[in-house]
Amino acid sequence: MANKWVLQTTSAPLFFLFAQLAIAVFLFLASHAAGLIQIPLHIDGQLVKGLAPMIGLNVVGLSFSNYTLKYVDASFYQVARGLVLPFTVATSCIFLHTRPSLRILFSCSIVTLGFFIGVFLDAIPISLLGIGFGVSSSAITAVHSVVIKKSLDVVNGSAMHLSWYTNLFSAVVIIPLIVLAGEIPAITDLFFGPEDIIPAAGELSALSTFVWGSLVTGAIGFLMSLASLLSIKVTSPITHMISSAVRGVAASVLAMWLFGDVISSGRASSIATILGGSVYYTWVKHVESQAPKSGEREGVKYERVPLEDVEAGKATFHKPE
């Protein structure tokens, strides 16, 4: 909601993202100096190379997310990014070699149906550009959640260190993108614009809105980046996406209250369908997790052997004590 508040007053979404990342980096350094957390301060070529895919996806994904929020209503943001779950299931299938069940595929079909309901049956005019950014952002987010699993190995499994490096490197990478996107004039207007533009009573100026919005979203983003990485570390990429989807529905309700967005019947049906498919998916995953796994029958459990050990000829098969 704070993001949308700022993006309504500025045409420099990438610079806004840079401000958020810079604040997060500052908070990391301040927390390290105060002894609250410990973060590594060394950088080498191997580290940069190992984290490069994740940093690239993070910058592009966050940028597209901001552009989506700029071009669509806050209440429609969840619909525009409604394909996160289907994309994540597909990505996990391709990169993690998982095989989704028919019920999982059916839940993804429900979510996809909800997306198309919002796009084609919503009576409120919507931005095709915003939808395009939303779909692209969904696909990148799905790949990003899988890449995070692999990137944790680069920092010895520390979600804290990964979050620190992600914010630091992303802030550096986004600087040239700001120039390439042509946001310099918008930044100049933001800080040195005409002084005769006086905001209405009770309203903040564009610069004040930008500063306060950056501080709020930067601080919250700092906390959320830690929570998101920990969520992916201790659960799975798809489970993490479910929590994000439910959070998005709550945001749509807030948008109606804070910004006066109109929730049409088509938009409400879309959000309800997306949420219903997500809830059904969660139930299916719970049921499947309770089912006996291969190698477990008649009360006898066998240890699962890593595939790399089998390929290396190191595996020894035995029942656990």
Strand partners, 300: 297
Inside any domain, residue 104: yes
pLDDT score of 311: 42
Res. 230 pLDDT band, cuts 50 70 90: low
pLDDT at 265 (0 to 100): 82
pLDDT at res. 174: 94
How many domains are contained in the chain?
Answer: 1
Cβ atoms 306, 110 nearer than 8 A: no
Report pLDDT for 298: 45
Choose from 154-168, 197-211, 285-299 the range with maximum mean pLDDT.
154-168
Distance between CA 142 and CA 144 in Å, rounded?
5
What's the pLDDT band for 139 if we cut at 50, 70, 90? very high
Residue 268 sits at φ, ψ, to 5 deg, of -65, -40
Question: Model confidence at 219, in pLDDT bands (50, 70, 90)?
Answer: confident
Q: At what angle do helices 159-180 and 45-71 cross, to 10 degrees?
A: 60
Query: In terms of residue numbers, what domain contains 169?
Result: 1-188+215-288
Q: Is residue 295 part of a domain?
A: no
Q: Is residue 38 part of a domain?
A: yes
What's the half-sphere exposure (Cβ side, CA atoms, 13 Å) at 208?
A: 6
Looking at the domain assignment, is residue 221 inside a domain? yes
Report helix angle 45-71 to 13-33, nearest 10. 130
Residue 314 binned pLDDT confidence (cut-offs 50, 70, 90): very low
Q: Give the C-alpha separation, 196 to 245, whole Å.
A: 43
- Domain presence at residue 309: no
pLDDT tens per residue, range 293-310: 554 444 444 444 444 443
Could you tell me what percentage of the chain is helix, strand and coil, using 3-state DSSP and rounding each to the nearest 5?
70, 0, 30
233 in any annotated domain: yes
The set of residues, in sequence order, having a beta carbon less than 8 Å from that of 199 and lying 6+ positions away, is 205
pLDDT of residue 226: 66
Q: Classify residue 201: in a domain, yes or no.
A: no
User: Residue 264 in contact with residue 122, Cβ under 8 Å?
Assistant: yes
The answer, yes or no, to whether residue 112 has pLDDT greater than 80, is yes
How many helices, marked H, and strands, marked E, lie in the chain?
13, 0
Q: What is the CA radius of gyration of the chain?
A: 22
- Summarize the confidence of residues 167-177 as an average pLDDT: 93
Which residues of 110-196 form beta strands (DSSP E)?
A: none
Average pLDDT over residues 275-288: 82
Q: Which long-range contacts (CB under 8 A, 24 or more apart) does 40-48 make?
A: 40/155, 40/161, 40/164, 47/154, 47/155, 47/165, 48/169
Percent residues over pLDDT 90 in the chain: 23
Q: What is the mean pLDDT of residues 152-164?
A: 86
Q: Read off φ and ψ for residue 27, nearest 5 degrees.
A: -65, -35
Q: What is the pLDDT of residues 25-39, one digit of tens each?
A: 999 999 899 888 888
Q: What's the confidence (pLDDT) of residue 125?
A: 82
Mean pLDDT over residues 66-74, rounded? Answer: 86
Residue 17 has pLDDT above 80, yes or no: yes
Mean pLDDT of the region 106-132: 89
* Region of poorest pLDDT, from 84-93, 134-143, 188-197, 237-246: 237-246
- Cα–Cα distance list, 259 to 73, 124, 267 (Å): 9, 15, 16
Contact 58, 116 (CB under 8 A): no
Contact 16, 210 (CB under 8 A): yes
Locate 115 and state its tokens: 């997306």
| Cα gap 143→59, rounded to integer Å | 13
**Residue 1 confidence (pLDDT):** 78
Q: Which residues contact 249 (CB under 8 A, 6 or more apart)?
A: 78, 271, 274, 275
Whole-Å CA distances, 293 to 92, 234, 290, 297, 319? 19, 20, 9, 8, 15
149 in any annotated domain: yes
**What is the chain's mean pLDDT, rounded?**
79
Confidence of residue 123 (pLDDT cuts 50, 70, 90): confident
